[in-house]
Structure 1
Amino acid sequence: MEDATHRPAARVVCLDADGRVLLMHWRDPLDGHDVWEPPGGGLDPGEDHLQAALRELAEETGLDPAAVRDRSVVVDRDFVWKGRRFTGPERFFLARFETARPALGRDGLLPDEREQLAGHAWVAVGDLAGLAGLDPPGLAEIIRRL
C-alpha cells in the first residue's frame, strides 16, 4: 500500500429525535470491506469545512443542511479506502433532526457512490461499540464532545 494521504474533509453527525445517529454503510469496491461512518467527504476547491459539511450532507442523504450547527470537533482519522490509506484530521459537525429516522434521498450521489453505498442505518449511540466496520471507532465519544 502506498504512503498515507491527507485529504481535508468534513463529516456530519446526524442525531434524530430519539438520539440515534445516522451511519452510511459503504462497501469498498476493491476488497469488499464494510465501513459505517457519518455522512461527509472531502473539501472541494475554495470550500471551508462547514461549506463541505453542508454540501456533503445534502448530496449523500438529501437531508436539510440547515440542521447543521456551526460548531465542530477535530477528529484524527486513519482508514483505508480503495487500497489507499488516508490519515489526518477531519472536522465533525453536529446536526439535529426533529423527527425519528428522517427519510434519506440518494439523488445527490455520484454514480460510483450509488454503487458503493450499501445502505444506511439510524443507530442508538449505545449500540455503536459492537458495530463491525465503524469508523471512526470512537464515534460515541465524538458525539459526547459535540
Structure 2
Amino acid sequence: MARQTVKLLLLDEHDHLLLIHSRDPSTGNDCWYPVGGGIEPGESLQDAAAREAYEETGLRDLPTGIHVWWRDHTYEYDNQRYDVHEDWLLHHIPHFTPAPAQLTPYETRTIQSFHWWTPQSLTTTQSTIYPPNLGPLLTTLLSNTTPKSPFNITSHS
C-alpha cells in the first residue's frame, strides 16, 4: 500500500519556490525536492503540511494551502524503494530563511541546504529536481487560475 504524503509548494511573494537540497547516502547523488512528508494517522492534509513545514524549515503559522495536484509515485533512495501517494498543497508565504526545527536523524544526514527557485530556473537547471517536470508544472499553475479540484500530475512527472 502506498504511503500517504503531503508535498508543499511554498511560494514567496515573488513566486519563488522553496526546495530542499538532498544527497542520497548510498549513491552520493544530489537532488532538489519540495518540503513535505508522511501524513500521520488522524492528521489532515493541512495539519501534516503545517507539521512538515515546521519540522523541515522552522516555519510556524503556515497559512491554509490549496490542494492543487496529486501524484502516485515509486522511487528509490538510500537503497530503499518507496511507494507514495502525494497530495500537493499550494501555500503563499512571506520569504524567510529556513532553519529546520525537528529533523529526523535520517533527514539530518541527507538534507544539505535550501534554495528559493524561480519557475524559470526550475525549467532550465541541469540539477536533478523532483518531480522532474516541476518547472513547467509550476509555470502552468501560476499562469492559470487555481484548479477547482486537484490535478493528477502522475503522467507529467
TM-score, structure 2 as length reference: 0.78
Match of 1:71 among 67, 74, 80: 67
Match of 2:42 among 43, 46, 49: 46
5+ residue gaps, structure 1, are: none
Following superposition, the deviation at residue 34 of structure 1 comes to 1.4
Is the contact between residue 69 and residue 94 of structure 1 (CA under 8 Å) also seen in structure 2? yes
Following superposition, the deviation at residue 66 of structure 1 comes to 2.5
Q: CA RMSD in A?
A: 1.9
Give the 4+ runs in structure 1 shifted more than 3 A. none
Deviation per residue, 1:5-50 (Å, 9 max, x gap)? 7221101011112111100011111221112010001111222322
Following superposition, the deviation at residue 141 of structure 1 comes to 4.0
Q: Taking structure 1 as reference, are residues 31 and 65 closer, same or farther at Cα in structure 2, changes over 3 Å only?
A: farther
Match of 1:33 in 2: 29
Find the residue that maps to 2:62 and give its secondary structure: helix
Is the contact between residue 62 and residue 93 of structure 2 (CA under 8 Å) also seen in structure 1? no
Match of 1:140 among 120, 135, 142: 135
Match of 1:20 among 5, 11, 16: 16
Is the contact between residue 79 and residue 86 of structure 1 (CA under 8 Å) also seen in structure 2? yes
Match of 1:81 among 74, 77, 80: 77
Match of 1:105 in 2: 99
Q: Taking structure 1 as reference, are residues 131 and 76 closer, same or farther at Cα in structure 2, changes over 3 Å only?
A: farther
Match of 1:116 in 2: 110
- In structure 2, distance between residues paired with 1:20 and 1:68: 18
- In structure 2, distance between residues paired with 1:15 and 1:131: 21
- In structure 1, distance between residues paired with 2:137 and 2:71: 8
Is the contact between residue 67 and residue 95 of structure 1 (CA under 8 Å) also seen in structure 2? yes
Find the residue that maps to 1:103 and give its secondary structure: coil
TM-score, structure 1 as length reference: 0.84
